Amino acid sequence: MENILKIAMAQIAPVWLDKQKTLKKIENAINDAAKKKCELIVFGEALLPGYPYWLTLAGGAEWDTALNKELHAHYTRNSVQIEAGDLDTICQLAKTNSMAIYLGTMERAKNRGGHSLYASLVYINPQGDIKSVHRKLQPTYEERLTWAPGDGNGLQVHPLKQFTVGGLNCWENWMPLPRTALYGLGENLHIAVWPGSDFNTKDITRFIARESRSFVVSVSSIMSKNDFPKDTPHLNAILDKAPEILSNGGSCIAGPDGEWILPPVINEEGLIIQDIDFNRVYEERQNFDVVGHYSRPDVTKLTINRERQTTVEYK
């Protein structure tokens, strides 16, 4: 049934700042979703290898400290370099199981020198090909201390059965112009990834669904004190001010009418599985289509720069 899509939301914790062990956990989640015949699996923002919680908890804005330098170096060492094949196993699992994947990663981008970090949302199609890498346009608040701003190259959508799927990272979902960029490409299944919290997902998920008359799938990670590996640099300084629960999940799905299909799921680790029916998109577009019959491009129009930005161009 081309109009029905089975989605798995992987609301899991990373093995924090351990790339190899987190990759193994991601692989296990994909295999579990395959056993349940899922066709798309989504992981939270920066899950691989984890969100930089120390920025809030351990004086991330302090200048030139050993703690911040050493943690940043540890973070960088455990981040993903796609060109080096870090996601090859994930791509192979996508191909083997004919499953599409959205994965939130920390990308150590080779075309930007290989030292700065980008919160990137990677789309892998059911044939195992990486079709887009969206680097978060604007890191939020303290994230700017360790993440670099991205570009428009990843503002792309992809065919998946009868759906057209696109995605954004965390507070990018509050930015109306990137949302419009995806709407204009025909998006009707919007993926919003978060580090984790119903505080983030409970309002914007339904709002985007109602604005776009699309399905919106918000996927968050979870994180507790127990999820920090014992060999984490400066662990005691991080845990000293950490609450027991740092991210409580909040993964959810809203339908094209803006109502809940699945309200936010709190403090539960594992796969959350839901079928969605494309026909609901056509039903709700009858009375409102934000870039179609209810738009006025003669009055307002958006221009997008999707060029991958790089400091040096070689000819």
The confidence score (pLDDT) of residue 239 equals 95
Q: What are phi and psi of 29, to 5 degrees?
A: -65, -40
| Residue in this structure with the two tokens 């914007």, named with its chain if needed | 204
Query: Within the chain, how many helices (H) and strands (E) appear?
Result: 8, 13
pLDDT tens digits, one per residue of 217-265: 999 999 999 999 999 999 999 999 999 999 999 999 999 999 999 999 9
The domains of the chain, with CATH numbers, are 4-285 (3.60.110.10)
Cβ neighbours for 77, distance < 8 A, ≥ 6 positions apart? none
Cβ neighbours for 61, distance < 8 A, ≥ 6 positions apart? 55, 142, 145
Contact assessment for residue 223 and residue 13, using Cβ atoms and an 8 Å cutoff = yes
The confidence score (pLDDT) of residue 281 equals 97
| Res. 1: pLDDT tops 90 | no
- Taking the C-alpha atoms of residue 40 and residue 17, their distance in angstroms, rounded to an integer, is 25
The confidence score (pLDDT) of residue 102 equals 98
Neighbours of 147 (CB within 10 A): 25
- Taking the C-alpha atoms of residue 75 and residue 134, their distance in angstroms, rounded to an integer, is 20
Joined together, the tokens standing for residue 133 give: 């890498």
Contact assessment for residue 74 and residue 86, using Cβ atoms and an 8 Å cutoff = no
pLDDT tens digits, one per residue of 133-164: 999 999 999 999 999 999 999 999 999 999 99
DSSP secondary structure code for residue 80 in this structure:
B
Residue type, 55: L
Q: ∠ CA 15-203-166 to the nearest 5 degrees?
A: 65
| Res. 313: pLDDT tops 90 | no
Confidence of residue 285 (pLDDT cuts 50, 70, 90): very high
Residues found in the chain: 315
Longest dimension (CA), the chain: 59
Helices (H), 185-224: 198-212
Cβ neighbours for 30, distance < 8 A, ≥ 6 positions apart? 41, 90, 93, 94, 97, 99, 101
Contact assessment for residue 13 and residue 104, using Cβ atoms and an 8 Å cutoff = no
Element (H, E) at 236: helix 235-239
Q: Which of 166, 286, 270 is nearest to 215 (CA)?
A: 166
- Taking the C-alpha atoms of residue 189 and residue 112, their distance in angstroms, rounded to an integer, is 31
Can you spell out the DSSP letters for 109-162? -GGGTS-SEEEEEEEE-TTS-EEEEEE-SS--GGGGGT-----GGG---EEETT
pLDDT tens digits, one per residue of 167-205: 999 999 999 999 999 999 999 999 999 998 999 999 999
- Taking the C-alpha atoms of residue 213 and residue 186, their distance in angstroms, rounded to an integer, is 11
Distance from the Cα of residue 118 to its chain's centroid: 12
Looking at residues 80-105, what average pLDDT do you find? 98
Contact assessment for residue 108 and residue 84, using Cβ atoms and an 8 Å cutoff = no
What are the angstrom distances between the C-alpha of 210 and each of 36, 149, 195, 265?
30, 28, 23, 20
Average pLDDT, the chain: 96
Looking at residues 32-45, what average pLDDT do you find? 98
CA contacts within 13 A on the Cβ side of 174: 10
The confidence score (pLDDT) of residue 4 equals 98
